[in-house]
């Protein structure tokens, strides 16, 4: 399977950023496209991304609950545009730059 076009991946990264900003109002957000490290994997033209999200929405939640919030925010993209999503979810008090 061929790798998705760089422009498609950049658009997906921007959409990830927009959806997380809109849904979780993060105080810090990083979206990294790691697709180049996975060229040749059977990913059906979808991208591999890593996000770091720092949000007060995560206060009092366990890691699985935090990940579910991120997955819910990105659900539309996870169906067709994202093959793999690694995430780090932190509250502002947990975040160390």
Residues 2-23: pLDDT tens digits? Answer: 455 667 888 899 999 999 999 9
Contacts of 62 (CB under 8 A, 6+ apart): none
pLDDT in tens, 36-79: 655 655 555 678 899 999 999 999 999 999 999 999 999 999 98
Residue range 6-90 forms a domain whose CATH class is alpha beta
Nearest alpha carbon to residue 42 among 4, 74, 76:
4
pLDDT band of 1, cuts 50, 70, 90: very low
In the chain, domain spans: 6-90
pTM, rounded to two decimals: 0.84
The dihedrals phi and psi of 78, each to the nearest 5 degrees, come to: -65, -25
């Amino acid at each position: 399977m061929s790798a998705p076009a760089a422009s498609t991946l950049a658009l997906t990264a921007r959409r990830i950023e927009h959806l997380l900003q809109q849904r979780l109002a993060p105080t810090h957000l990083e979206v990294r496209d790691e697709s180049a490290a996975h060229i040749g994997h059977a990913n059906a033209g979808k991208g591999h991304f890593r996000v770091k999200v720092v949000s007060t929405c995560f206060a009092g939640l366990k890691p699985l609950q935090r990940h579910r919030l991120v997955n819910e925010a990105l659900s539309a993209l996870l169906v067709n545009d994202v093959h793999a999503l690694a995430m780090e979810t932190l509250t502002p008090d947990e975040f160390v730059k």
